Amino acid sequence: MQKIKRGSFFGAWLNTVDRALLAAVIIVIFFSIIMVTTASPAVAERIGLPQFYFIKRQLVYLALGMFIMLTISFCNVEMIKKFSLLGFIGFVILMLAVLFIGEEIKGARRWISLGPMAIQPSEFIKPFFAVLTATILTQKFIDSKFSYCFFCYIWICCWVDCFTA
């Protein structure tokens, strides 16, 4: 594969990114824009919202997601591992808080209300869980105590499955 000039900041970043995965993400982004653009105006009008309500909302969340994705891609692996552990612990605490201060929406008590919006901690914990799982499984090659790490992994999987179901 051809390398980009290392002199530029963008070139240095592009050399560290999985280009096939980046291309797949871009294709999914464009497909989502097309789908929302074709399907949502009729739905928005039917429920009494402006015609382009869902399109604007998709573009706002798309911009936010792209910003987060690009920001994380500039971080080193050790920082991402530490951040994922902190994020996992934080959202576990929020999942437990849902039991006490959670808001019931459409018959399910899985949401925490934050003013005009509500979040579902079980959805936010998933990327942190994926990175944490990868970190635990890589311990096999770094540490001889893999059986302990594997036990922790199985315990975490069962625990997260119980609380996200």
Residue 115 has a pLDDT of 80
Range among 14-23, 39-48, 54-63, 117-126 rated most confident: 54-63
Confidence bin at 67 (pLDDT 50/70/90): very high
Backbone angles phi, psi at 104, to 5 degrees: -85, 120
Q: What is the mean pLDDT of residues 78-96?
A: 90
Give the residue among 92, 87, 122, 119 at the shortest CA–CA distance from 103: 119
Question: Is this prediction's pTM over 0.75?
Answer: no
Look up residue 67 and give its two tokens.
């910003």
In 3-state terms the chain splits into helix, strand, coil percentages (rounded to 5) of: 75, 10, 20
> Which pLDDT value is given to residue 6?
56
Model confidence at 86, pLDDT cuts 50, 70, 90, reads very high
> Please, which contacts does 91-99 make with residues 24 or more away whose CB atoms are closer than 8 Å?
91/121, 91/124, 91/125, 91/128, 92/125, 94/119, 94/121, 94/124, 95/121, 95/122, 95/125, 95/163, 95/164, 97/121
Name the amino acid, one letter, at 64.
L
Encode pLDDT of 114-125 as tens digits: 888 888 888 888
Name the CA radius of gyration of the chain, rounded.
Answer: 20
Element (H, E) at 117: strand 117-119
104 - beta bridge partners?
A: 109
Q: What is the pLDDT of residues 92-151, one digit of tens each?
A: 888 888 888 877 777 777 888 888 888 888 888 888 988 888 887 777 667 666 666 666
